[in-house]
Amino acid sequence: MFSGTDLTSTDQMSITPAFRDGLRRVLSSPALMVLLAVLFLIGVTVVLFSLELDEAPYVFEIVVVYSIIRAWCTGGVLHRYAQNRPMRAGAFQRACGTFFFRLLRLHLLSALILGGCLYVWLYYQFGYYLVLLGLGYIFCDIVLDYAKIRTVVEDRRSMVFAVTAGFRFAVRRPGAVVGLYLLNAAIPVIVLGIEWYVSRAELEPVALFAVSIVLLAWFPLLFLSTQTAFFQDELAYPGYTAGSGVNPPDLPVTEVVAGPPTAGV
């Protein structure tokens, strides 16, 4: 039962079951994998095309638009993984719209943190400022990701308290949180290493590029799903979401007659 507090239980969930559960949630929704892969492919293609045309000043605008689209999708993605059940397209769009402006503030905070760290590193040109950039990236990847999860799962309205809650959740479980993060991060490192090795065998560049795009789009979903599974099993239960206003609009009798949704995401 969800207690609404962050008291650390004596029977905390191991990160291995959380990882397996999160992996199942990702694989159970291939539509989201395709959606993110298409968005990522479009973004990369547009940026490369603008660079070819010597229109580098437009790269910033492209990144901003792409970030807004990602902020829109993140609410629906997290709600889908939190509920751990298929959602029809209408319910997914409703979840995206419900959490869009809340998550957009978190995306803006992430951009400010990473942009500030990158500016300091480029301005001073000292190696130890690269550590600052790395710490900023990890903070955004861990604390702000849990803030997004708590925003969606607990239907939080204040992003200040969401960030505080995400930070509190991480510091009270440092070993498990960092262990799950490293487990997730190890997979793209291994896969990209294999790709680099295979590329030396003169694999078709187009095929290698397509595989890379799909994998780079899939990894953020893996992080979100495993972290959602870990959070729910620590402080709530699998499938728990507090936001009744973004639940699928179909009445229970609809699923009794027509069965659970098999289309959508």
Output the average pLDDT for the chain. Answer: 78
Place of tokens 């509920």: 83
Give pLDDT tens digits for 176-194. Answer: 999 999 999 888 788 777 7
Place of tokens 């607990």: 154
CA pair distance 229, 107, nearest whole angstrom: 21
- Name the amino acid, one letter, at 105: R
- Tokens found for residue 40: 């990522």
Tell me the CA distances in angstroms from 191 to 52, 80, 149, 198, one per residue in order. 28, 26, 26, 10
Give pLDDT tens digits for 204-253. Answer: 666 666 666 667 777 888 999 999 999 998 887 777 787 655 655 555 55
Task: Report residue 244: phi and psi, to 5°.
Answer: -65, -25
- Name the amino acid, one letter, at 87: M
- At a CB cut-off of 8 Å and minimum separation 6, what does 217 contact? 33, 36, 37, 39, 40, 41
Domain boundaries, the chain: 15-236
CA pair distance 70, 64, nearest whole angstrom: 10
* For residue 117, pLDDT beyond 70: yes
Global confidence as pTM: 0.80
With beta carbons less than 8 A apart as the criterion, state whether 264 and 92 touch: yes
